[in-house]
Amino acid sequence: MRIDLHTHSDRSDGTDPPAELVRRAHEQGVDVLGLTDHDTAEGWQEAADAARRTGVTLVRGIEVSCRFGGYGVHLLAYLPDPTYPPLVAELQRVLDGRNARLPATLERLRRLGIDIDVDDVRAVAGETAAMGRPHVADALVALGVVRDRNAAFGRFLGPQGPAYVHRYAAELEAMICTVAEAGGVTVVAHPWASRHDHSALDERGLARLKAAGLSGIEVDHHDHPTGTRERLRELARRLELVVTGSSDHHGTGKPGHELGSLTTAPEQLERLLDLASAASASSGRRTPEVLQRSTAS
């Protein structure tokens, strides 16, 4: 049983349409796939149709851009009712922040002598509902300024880069509660990734998130060195949090994150799904067309 709970389609900053992502997952021997586009559920329907055709079990998710202790944190929200009004409203604020950042980023590039306009980025961004730096990176690649996304982040778009612009993100503890009220569960994504400052996500911070309703920690992630994974696994055990593992696949946008390259243990998925059932029982909200338990076990 191969379970990959964190992937992106072209509805955010992955490069494959949702149906193609599911098809590839099936081809790579992934049995359970989490589609977790940034800040949007836009790809769910297409992915669900493809999942039904291929026999892949789809776990519907969203990777929500959050803020905690002044730092950016990504929160994986699984199986919320995507029509829950407070969730819809907060995701819209995040998406508005993404759209507002784009012209500001392009203005900074212009001052560096690189002339790209919003339409150029929209042209390379295709179907995305979550405009982001990776799309600006793609426009820089198209213009021949850099070789790939990674180089664009290194030279211009990373937090220390000359074209970096801050954007709105949801308050983390409030979002954990909102997702629970929407009948879903939350897992903190790559909390100790090397390129993030994670001082707010130490044991005390994670214990606070658990108290707010957090269900799990993404331990096995490519941005966590081996030693980090083992320390996080031990911490998750102490805090009784679910341990997940995933590829964070972005298609050709992020080499080294192949589908199914890191996975979640079946019993950990079971725990997560039990917690999601409990959340929807107490909130009265559930993901439309929730996945079949029988195919996940």
Q: Which positions from 145 to 164 touch ligand AMP by CB under 6 A, shown as an x/- string?
A: ----xx--x-----------
Enter the tokens of residue 289.
């067309």
Min separation Cβ 206 and ligand AMP, Å: 21
Q: Which one among 248, 254, 268, 287 touches Fe ion, defined by CB under 5 A? A: 248
Q: Which positions from 73 to 112 touch ligand AMP by CB under 6 A, shown as an x/- string?
A: ----------------------------------------
Structural contact between residues 13 and 128, judged by C-beta atoms closer than 8 angstroms = yes
Q: Which positions from 127 to 146 touch ligand AMP by CB under 6 A, shown as an x/- string?
A: -----xxx------------
Site for Fe ion contains 42 (CB under 5 A): no
35 burial (CB, 10 Å; 0-12 / 13-18 / 19+) is: buried
* CB contact set of 256 (below 8 Å; sequence gap of 6+): 222
Question: Given the complex with ligand AMP, which of 258 and 270 has the nearer CB atom?
Answer: 258
Question: Given the complex with ligand AMP, which of 117 and 289 has the nearer CB atom?
Answer: 117
129: DSSP letter: S
Which residues make beta-bridge pairs with 135? none
In whole angstroms, what is the distance from residue 168 CA to residue 93 CA? Answer: 7
- Cα-only R_g, the chain: 18
Min separation Cβ 23 and ligand AMP, Å: 22
Residue with tokens 């149906």: 19
Structural contact between residues 247 and 259, judged by C-beta atoms closer than 8 angstroms = yes
Could you tell me what percentage of the chain is helix, strand and coil, using 3-state DSSP and rounding each to the nearest 5?
Answer: 45, 15, 40
In angstroms, the first-to-last Cα distance of the chain is 9
In whole angstroms, what is the distance from residue 15 CA to residue 143 CA? Answer: 18
Site for ligand AMP contains 26 (CB under 6 A): no
Q: Which one among 26, 60, 74, 210 touches Fe ion, defined by CB under 5 A? A: 74
Question: Given the complex with Zn ion, which of 196 and 233 has the nearer CB atom?
Answer: 196
Structural contact between residues 183 and 275, judged by C-beta atoms closer than 8 angstroms = no
Site for Fe ion in 150-189 (CB under 5 A): 189
Question: Given the complex with ligand AMP, which of 194 and 292 has the nearer CB atom?
Answer: 194
In whole angstroms, what is the distance from residue 135 CA to residue 21 CA? Answer: 18
Total chain residues near ligand AMP (CB under 6 A): 9
* CB contact set of 268 (below 8 Å; sequence gap of 6+): 216, 242, 243, 244
Find the part of the chain contacting Fe ion (CB under 5 A) among 39-47, 59-67, 75-83, 127-135: 59-67
Min separation Cβ 48 and Zn ion, Å: 21
Q: Tell me the residue number closest to Zn ion, measured at CB.
A: 13
Q: Which residues bind ligand AMP (CB under 6 A)?
A: 13, 38, 132-134, 149-150, 153, 254
Q: Which residues bind Zn ion (CB under 5 A)?
A: 13
Q: Which residues bind Fe ion (CB under 5 A)?
A: 63, 74, 189, 248
